[in-house]
Amino acid sequence: MSQFTIATRESRLALWQAEHVKALLEQRGHEVALLGMTTRGDQILDRSLSKVGGKGLFVKELELALEEGRADLAVHSLKDVPMELPGGFALACVLEREDPRDALVSPHHDSLSALPQGSVVGTSSLRRIVLLRALRPDLRIEPLRGNLDTRLRKLDDGQYDAVVLAAAGLKRLGLAGRIRQLFEPEDMLPAAGQGALGIEIRSERSEVAEVLAPLASQSTWLCVAAERAVSRALGGSCSMPLAAHARFDGEYLQLQAAWGDPERAGVLVRARGADVIADAEQAAALGEQVAARLRARGAH
């Protein structure tokens, strides 16, 4: 039996995720404590992430806790984890994925198509902005930052007619009843890693990696390896309006990706690929092929 400390953000969703990993480790006989932290990404709420340093703002303080030995592992929403980790850090485990889709939440309207012309929809995701514009160019899309509870409160206060959120977070917090519409990937392609949890450790901590190995989902890991390779090949960060989603169809991994231009409404390019995939290296190669197809069609 070992003792571990998990570094986590202190939002309700982040704590749920850390508690989930804690419970899985405790079932295997380990002792686990949580180290709650507030990150720069949680503190800066008046500007979009793409303007202040990207999703990496959610993980830097947690990485510092790992580096200083105050924590042994950090639990992240994988879509918040930069495509390139700093030297000395490793993604040791990817857990089985929750629903990767985006969800529409609205007090009065049952679907995106039911929103009246000119309705205000909240999101600060460049990916969601370009995909929403492709579906409904008449909508007013306004910035929306904050944790899940903050976003829902702003919606309920009447600041928006609808908001678009990750279905996984709503389901994990028992808020699936708020979902009015689940977007199929064909209409609203998810972000790379959406719905999956990743566990980060210091790369030299092989004993921690061994303990985490039984928690990993191999199929999810291969899917997100392909998705993250698309993003990495295009220099991906949250300042890029890029979507990538993979799923297994039998032994074939089907990968779709999309890129839009936030400055030019209506510019949206898509690409896809499929292959028999057995390991992360092959998954990454598929991602690079699909990224090359996006570039050939104008993505940059």
| C-alpha span between 165 and 170 (Å, rounded) | 8
> Of 230, 206, 253, which Cα lies nearest the Cα of 79?
230
Residue 107 half-sphere exposure toward CB, CA atoms < 13 A: 12
In three-state secondary structure terms, 45 is: coil
* Residue-wise DSSP of 247-289: EEETTEEEEEEEEE-TTSTT-EEEEEEEEE--SHHHHHHHHHH
HEC string for 162-230: EEEEEHHHHHHCCCHHHEEEECCCCCCCCCCCCCCEEEEEECCCHHHHHHHHHHCCHHHHHHHHHHHHH
Q: Which residues contact 263 (CB under 8 A, 6 or more apart)?
A: none
Instruction: Answer whether 209's CB lies under 8 Å from 199's CB.
Output: no
Q: Which of 72, 80, 99, 102 is catalytic?
A: 80
Enclosing H/E stretch for 74: strand 73-77
| C-alpha span between 10 and 191 (Å, rounded) | 23
Structural Rg of the chain based on CA atoms: 19
Task: Please confirm, yes or no, whether 138 is among the known catalytic residues.
Answer: no
| C-alpha span between 9 and 13 (Å, rounded) | 9
Q: What is the set of active-site residues?
A: 80
